[in-house]
């Protein structure tokens, strides 16, 4: 798969997740989430490696074979050349949206606020 194909795929996943159209689930591993869609499963995770954050997106077929995987690392510096690092930032956004959906964070935050208000 070409880099531009991954960019398009990640952007599509990001938009469909924002629309609430993808069923992200907790993968029971720290910062790992999965989404089964038809004959494919998307596995998304954040790992720490060499003082950098790595976001991994794997795509598996129905028997569980890894078809494609992309990894994007955080930059050492927060300053980056124009156009560089977009994949990493899009994967970070996707991970946060998947995490929010899979863990039900909006509902939990509302419950926390109510609990604190009633304390």
Instruction: Read off the pLDDT of residues 95-113 as tens digits, 9 standing for 90 and up.
Output: 999 999 999 999 999 999 9
Helix (H, G, I), strand (E, B) or coil at 4: helix
Contact 94, 70 (CB under 8 A): no
Instruction: Read off the pLDDT of residues 18-60 as tens digits, 9 standing for 90 and up.
Output: 999 999 999 988 899 999 999 999 999 999 888 889 999 999 9
Domain coverage including residue 71: 3-117
Number of domains in the chain: 1
Residue of 25, 45, 48 lying closest to 36 (CA atoms): 25
Angle at CA 62, nearest 5°, toward 5 and 103? Answer: 80
Give residue 28's Cα distance to chain centre. 14
pLDDT confidence tier of residue 76, bands split at 50, 70 and 90: low
Angle at CA 114, nearest 5°, toward 113 and 118? Answer: 115
Phi, psi of 46 (to 5 degrees): -115, 130
Q: Which residue has the tokens 């930059």?
A: 75
Residue of 97, 108, 47 lying closest to 74 (CA atoms): 47
Q: Which residue has the tokens 């991970």?
A: 95
């Amino acid at each position: 798969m070409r880099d531009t194909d991954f960019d398009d795929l990640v952007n599509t996943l990001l938009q469909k997740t924002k629309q609430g159209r993808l069923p992200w689930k907790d993968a029971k591993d720290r910062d790992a989430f999965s989404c089964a869609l038809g004959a494919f499963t998307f596995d998304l995770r954040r790992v720490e490696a060499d003082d950098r954050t790595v976001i991994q997106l794997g795509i598996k077929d129905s028997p569980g074979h890894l078809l494609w995987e992309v990894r994007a690392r955080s930059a050492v510096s927060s300053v980056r050349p124009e156009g560089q690092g977009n994949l990493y930032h899009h994967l970070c956004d996707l991970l946060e949206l998947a995490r929010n959906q899979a863990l039900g964070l909006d509902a939990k935050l509302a419950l926390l606020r109510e609990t604190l208000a009633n304390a």
